[in-house]
């Protein structure tokens, strides 16, 4: 029996394809996420396994699945071998070629930006994303590759990622959590020089968590991921990185500790020393603590000084537009998890750590706000649109008490999208012909003019082909969707002929949350149905989106749409595609004619879905919120709303719903169907051309990453190098200045004020008592609020002479034009240091009245 068994051939081989000549070339290509936007190698994977490639669009899965015999067969074909060699050569040349950054800043002090984020959307083959935040992170990594900006990403690898969606027969969303098999993801384990898998130990209360480290290749950019699914961990702790945005506050806190503290320790293990740490949302804010701890070890300073040294190298980008959206943790929970870390590793009391995350540092009952920690640990803060910057200045007011909202230190860098990821193949061809091969690899000043030269007939033919491709995709996907949910064969068969490639197609796809008002179109179902089913000018609407599994109101909105769709007459005109993911998004933004977006202003921080249609010739009809509030002009699209805030007033929702129907009925639909003798809608194509030309470059990550580099990364790198030089001498000086302010500020006061007006000028003279504080460490200013949309007045007063019988009292003087009454002006005392950011690093302020 034993002999018979031993004579049998094994049913499997370990790594059966790795000894095939050419395999390593293919593996390098398959593991590079550049294949997700550079489609020059798609035919390779399609040739290996067309069915699997069509289903997954995952080169690594295809390569892992293909047989040894199939590989030997295709490599025997000289054409195939030549194609692989050519792709490998192009990849090597792209990685080695100097990008915009190297050409523009060859002597830059910036060597590395560490970009921390809770999620990264790179491709559906790596499902560790939910939506907008991950979209921004993934697209910015890709643009950093294109431009040569030295960025690395740091995130978490989720065993299940975000949930997958099924809509059942009753229109109810069901959440599924399939396991992300690391062997089928385009990732590789990080190993030390001796081959050992790089693992990190993070001590949590009463136990240690071991983290495995992985690498994702994004062209010449690397993304590092940590996960807790290590065999050495207690079973419950293996699941810390199980789901994205799953579980309760404790799991979220654990994940954010692993991301921030674990992520910075990973960089240290790899010998990576970033000058700049970019916190993409407050989830990663614990990285500022760990960065300061490493500085303490290296330079021998205490925590406050180390934070002073490192702070200027940290950038915080907030994406949250409502106060309730910030991660807050109960003080007792934070104390349980981080008291030991604070006391034993940072050398501070837990109360001092908690104070960093509170609006009022002395309020022991106030929850710990991760955004507040990020602010206090960063040298710059920005929102993700112009309007969101304004909203954020109000949201973060508690961190800067008594400072005018306009001076709360939050700027903005409006989001954009990675155009090569979201353009269709025909769109890429059209732009290449008009603007050249390397149109997204450098500056974009000439793109607008080149696109404006495209003729009407080319643009309309391009759009017609895009709509036809979308309809074909919808039919195929919806047929499969109905079959999976057990619909009758007749319904499945009917889905194969749904939608018309010549009909105006609207798209609405995003997270289903009440503030996004996905039901605004359903305010008057009968009117909507009439708009959709007009026989002379029909309209079809394709929808998609997920509600968070715990969001019952969001799930009810999906069910509301499903009930509308299943009523008589609506099935042929409206479709809801389930399991909204990156691949579905690509298809929608490449094919729809109009992208709808209906959030309540100002609750959409930026939004990027509407940006994705621009390169593909789609036109936006959106609320004047987020990015559209600064993008909209009448010639590039349509706007909803009056540009003001109305909260969640149902009456205003009704007004905007009627306005939306009117726009569709009297503007959008007629413009689409009004054609010339060639069948071209001239006004539509004119609007489309202007939208493509004016907005695509402006709302691309090409612009975004260049803006981050020049406005934030380069100055932050220079500031960090200055503060860390000479064992942190400048950082020590700034911290000493801060501590002197803290000690002496409570006793600072204003004395006598005199104001004289001579007809042309107001002359202010005020006495200020500084309590032995160095007068160079403060500034006295005249301040007046802005009028008529202008900027506020900030006029520095001149120090005249010491006051008699006052140790550090001084007279200050200033004259300002008398075109405003003197009562408009107030006098204030603020901190001042030439190397510090005020009020970000010192939020003290004293008003004379």
Tens digits of residue pLDDT in 722-764: 999 999 999 999 999 999 999 999 999 999 999 999 889 999 9
Q: Which among 797, 736, 744, 741 is positioned nearest to 766, based on CA atoms?
A: 797
How much is the pLDDT for 329?
97
CA angle 114, 117, 123 (to 5 degrees): 105
- Cβ–Cβ under 8 Å, residues 576 and 565: yes
Structure tokens that stand for 310 in this block: 């490192």
Structure tokens that stand for 93 in this block: 């040349």
Residue 323 DSSP code = G
Q: Considering Cα of 292, then 297, then 303, then 304, what sign does the dihedral take?
A: negative
How much is the pLDDT for 4?
41
How much is the pLDDT for 19?
58
Burial class (CB in 10 A: 0-12, 13-18, 19+), 78: exposed
Residue 11 DSSP code = S
How much is the pLDDT for 716?
98
Q: Which among 121, 151, 427 is positioned nearest to 244, based on CA atoms?
A: 121
Q: Which among 275, 268, 223, 31 is positioned nearest to 116, based on CA atoms?
A: 223
215: β partners? 188, 224
Q: Beta-carbon neighbour count of residue 29 at 10 Å?
A: 22
- Dihedral angle of Cα 392, 393, 399, 403, to the nearest 10 degrees: -170
Q: Catalogue the long-range contacts made by 196-201 (C-beta closer than 8 Å, 24 or more residues apart).
A: 198/266, 198/269, 198/270, 199/230, 199/232, 200/226, 200/262, 200/265, 200/266, 200/269
3-state SS, residue 405: helix
Q: Where are the alpha helices (DSSP H) in 258-365?
A: 263-269, 286-299, 303-311, 331-340, 350-355
3-state SS, residue 226: strand
Sheet holding 846-847, edge to edge: 793-796, 778-784, 825-831, 846-847
How much is the pLDDT for 272?
96
Q: Give the span between the Cα atoms of 224 and 214, in whole angstroms.
A: 6
Q: Catalogue the long-range contacts made by 799-806 (C-beta closer than 8 Å, 24 or more residues apart).
A: 799/775, 800/765, 803/751, 803/767, 803/769, 806/769
Domain boundaries, the chain: 2-96, 100-415+713-720, 445-467+500-697, 748-847
- Cβ–Cβ under 8 Å, residues 624 and 639: yes
How much is the pLDDT for 20?
65
Q: Give the span between the Cα atoms of 308 and 297, in whole angstroms.
A: 15
Distances (CA, A) of 813 to 47, 374, 654, 756: 79, 38, 55, 11
CA angle 627, 633, 636 (to 5 degrees): 90
Residue 588 DSSP code = H
Q: Write down the residue that tokens 């003729």 correspond to.
A: 455
Say which CATH class 445-467+500-697 falls into. alpha beta
Structure tokens that stand for 17 in this block: 């394809």
**Identical fold, 445-467+500-697 and 748-847:** no
Structure tokens that stand for 800 in this block: 């005249």
Structure tokens that stand for 132 in this block: 């907008």
- Dihedral angle of Cα 39, 41, 45, 48, to the nearest 10 degrees: 150
Q: Where are the alpha helices (DSSP H) in 300-385?
A: 303-311, 331-340, 350-355, 370-376
Burial class (CB in 10 A: 0-12, 13-18, 19+), 468: middle
pTM, 2 dp:
0.94
How much is the pLDDT for 17?
54
Multiple choice CATH, 748-847, 3.40.50.1980, 3.10.129.10, 2.60.40.10, 3.40.605.10? 2.60.40.10
Q: Give the span between the Cα atoms of 115 and 103, in whole angstroms.
A: 22
Q: Which among 171, 31, 32 is positioned nearest to 571, based on CA atoms?
A: 171
Q: Give the span between the Cα atoms of 781 and 736, in whole angstroms.
A: 23
Burial class (CB in 10 A: 0-12, 13-18, 19+), 526: exposed
The number of residues making up the chain comes to 849
Spans of the chain below 70 pLDDT: 1-20
Q: Give the span between the Cα atoms of 738 and 466, in whole angstroms.
A: 59
- Cβ–Cβ under 8 Å, residues 835 and 312: no
Q: CB-based contacts of 822: which residues, under 8 Å, 6+ apart?
A: 755, 757, 762, 764
Q: Beta-carbon neighbour count of residue 21 at 10 Å?
A: 11
Phi, psi (rounded to 5 degrees) for 591: -115, -25
Structure tokens that stand for 761 in this block: 């000028």
Q: Give the span between the Cα atoms of 29 and 433, in whole angstroms.
A: 27
Q: Beta-carbon neighbour count of residue 706 at 10 Å?
A: 20
* Interior/surface letters 309-339, b for 16+ CB within 10 angstroms, e for the rest: bbbbbbbbbbbbbeeebbbbbebeebbbbbb
Q: Which CATH architecture has domain 100-415+713-720?
A: 3-Layer(aba) Sandwich (3.40)
How much is the pLDDT for 9?
45
Structure tokens that stand for 82 in this block: 């030549």
Q: Beta-carbon neighbour count of residue 579 at 10 Å?
A: 17
Q: Which among 595, 599, 581, 463 is positioned nearest to 518, based on CA atoms?
A: 599
- Cβ–Cβ under 8 Å, residues 186 and 61: no
3-state SS, residue 237: helix
Structure tokens that stand for 191 in this block: 């190993």
Residue 699 DSSP code = T
Structure tokens that stand for 522 in this block: 């359903």
Residue 417 DSSP code = B
Distances (CA, A) of 537 to 573, 665, 667: 12, 10, 12
Structure tokens that stand for 678 in this block: 């060639």
Q: Write down the residue that tokens 């089913």 correspond to.
A: 533
Whether the upstream peptide bond of residue 594 has omega within 30° of 0, thus cis, is no
How much is the pLDDT for 452?
93
């Amino acid at each position: 029996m034993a002999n018979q068994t031993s004579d049998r051939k094994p049913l499997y081989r370990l790594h059966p394809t790795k000894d095939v000549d050419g395999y390593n070339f293919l593996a390098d290509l398959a593991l590079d996420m550049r294949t997700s936007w550079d489609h020059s190698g798609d035919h390779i994977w399609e040739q290996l396994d067309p069915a699997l490639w069509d289903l997954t669009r995952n080169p690594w899965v295809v390569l892992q699945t293909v047989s040894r015999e199939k590989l030997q067969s295709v490599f025997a074909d000289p054409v195939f071998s030549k194609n692989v060699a050519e792709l490998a050569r192009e990849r090597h040349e792209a990685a080695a070629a100097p990008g915009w950054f190297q050409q523009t800043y060859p002597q830059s002090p910036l060597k590395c930006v560490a970009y921390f984020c809770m999620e990264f959307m790179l491709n559906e083959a790596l499902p560790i994303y939910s939506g907008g935040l991950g979209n921004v992170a993934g697209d910015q990594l890709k643009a950093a590759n294109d431009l040569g900006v030295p960025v690395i990403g740091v995130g978490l690898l989720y065993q299940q990622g975000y949930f997958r969606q099924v809509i059942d027969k009753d229109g109810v969303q069901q959440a599924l959590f399939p396991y992300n098999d690391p062997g089928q993801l385009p990732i590789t384990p990080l190993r030390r020089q001796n081959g050992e898998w790089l693992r990190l130990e993070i001590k949590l209360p009463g136990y240690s968590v071991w983290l495995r480290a992985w690498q994702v290749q994004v062209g010449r950019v690397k993304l590092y991921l940590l996960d807790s699914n290590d065999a050495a961990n207690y079973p419950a702790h293996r699941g810390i990185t199980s789901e994205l945005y799953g579980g309760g506050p404790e799991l979220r806190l654990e994940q954010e500790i692993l991301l921030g503290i674990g992520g910075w320790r990973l960089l240290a293990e790899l010998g990576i020393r970033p000058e700049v740490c970019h916190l993409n949302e407050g989830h990663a804010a614990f990285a500022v603590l760990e960065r300061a701890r490493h500085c303490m070890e290296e330079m021998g300073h205490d925590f406050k000084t180390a934070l002073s040294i490192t702070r200027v190298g940290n950038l915080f980008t907030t994406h949250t537009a409502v106060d309730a959206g910030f991660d807050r943790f109960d003080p007792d929970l934070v104390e349980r998890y981080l008291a030991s870390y604070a006391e034993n590793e940072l050398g501070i009391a837990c109360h001092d750590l908690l104070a960093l995350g509170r609006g009022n540092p002395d309020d022991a009952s106030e929850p710990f706000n991760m955004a507040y920690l990020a602010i206090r640990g960063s040298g710059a803060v920005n929102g993700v649109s112009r309007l969101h910057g304004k909203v954020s200045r109000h949201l973060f007011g508690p961190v800067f008490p008594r400072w005018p909202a306009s001076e709360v230190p939050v700027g903005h860098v409006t989001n954009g999208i990675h155009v090569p990821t979201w353009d269709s193949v025909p769109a890429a061809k059209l732009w290449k012909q008009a603007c050249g091969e390397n149109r997204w690899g450098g500056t974009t000043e000439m793109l607008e003019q080149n696109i404006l030269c495209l003729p009407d007939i080319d643009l309309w033919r391009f759009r017609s082909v895009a709509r036809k491709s979308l309809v074909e995709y919808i039919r195929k996907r919806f047929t499969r969707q109905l079959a999976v949910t057990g619909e009758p064969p007749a319904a499945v068969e009917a889905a194969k002929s749904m939608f018309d490639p010549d009909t105006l197609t609207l798209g609405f796809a995003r997270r289903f949350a009440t503030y996004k008002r996905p039901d605004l179109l359903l305010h008057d179902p009968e009117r909507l149905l009439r708009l959709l089913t007009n026989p002379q000018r029909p309209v079809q609407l394709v929808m998609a989106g997920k509600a968070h599994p715990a969001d019952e109101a969001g799930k009810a909105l999906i069910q509301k749409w499903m009930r509308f769709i299943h009523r008589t007459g609506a099935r042929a005109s409206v479709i809801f595609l389930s399991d909204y993911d990156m691949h579905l998004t690509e298809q929608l933004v490449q094919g729809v004619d109009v992208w709808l977006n209906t959030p309540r202003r100002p609750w959409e921080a930026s939004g990027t879905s509407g940006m994705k249609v621009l390169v593909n010739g789609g036109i936006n009809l959106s609320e004047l919120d987020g990015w559209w509030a600064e993008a909209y002009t009448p010639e590039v699209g349509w706007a909803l709303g009056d540009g003001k805030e109305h909260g969640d007033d149902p009456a205003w929702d009704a007004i905007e719903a009627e306005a939306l129907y009117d726009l569709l009925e009297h503007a959008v639909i007629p413009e689409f169907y009004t054609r010339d003798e060639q069948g071209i809608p001239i006004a539509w194509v004119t609007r489309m051309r202007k939208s493509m030309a004016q907005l695509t470059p402006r709302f691309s990550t090409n612009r975004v990453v260049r803006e981050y580099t020049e406005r934030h990364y380069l100055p932050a790198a220079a500031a960090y190098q200055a503060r860390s030089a000479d064992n942190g001498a400048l950082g020590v000086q700034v911290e000493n200045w801060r501590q002197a302010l803290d000690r002496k500020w409570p006793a600072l006061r204003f004395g006598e004020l005199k104001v004289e007006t001579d007809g042309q000028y107001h002359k202010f003279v005020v006495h200020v008592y500084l309590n032995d504080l160095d007068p160079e460490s403060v500034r006295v200013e005249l301040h007046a609020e802005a009028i008529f949309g202008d900027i506020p007045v900030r006029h520095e007063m001149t120090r005249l002479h010491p006051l008699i019988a006052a140790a550090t009292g001084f007279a200050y003087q200033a004259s300002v034009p008398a075109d405003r009454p003197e009562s408009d002006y107030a006098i204030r005392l603020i901190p001042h240091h030439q190397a510090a950011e005020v009020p970000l690093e010192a939020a003290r302020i004293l008003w004379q009245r």
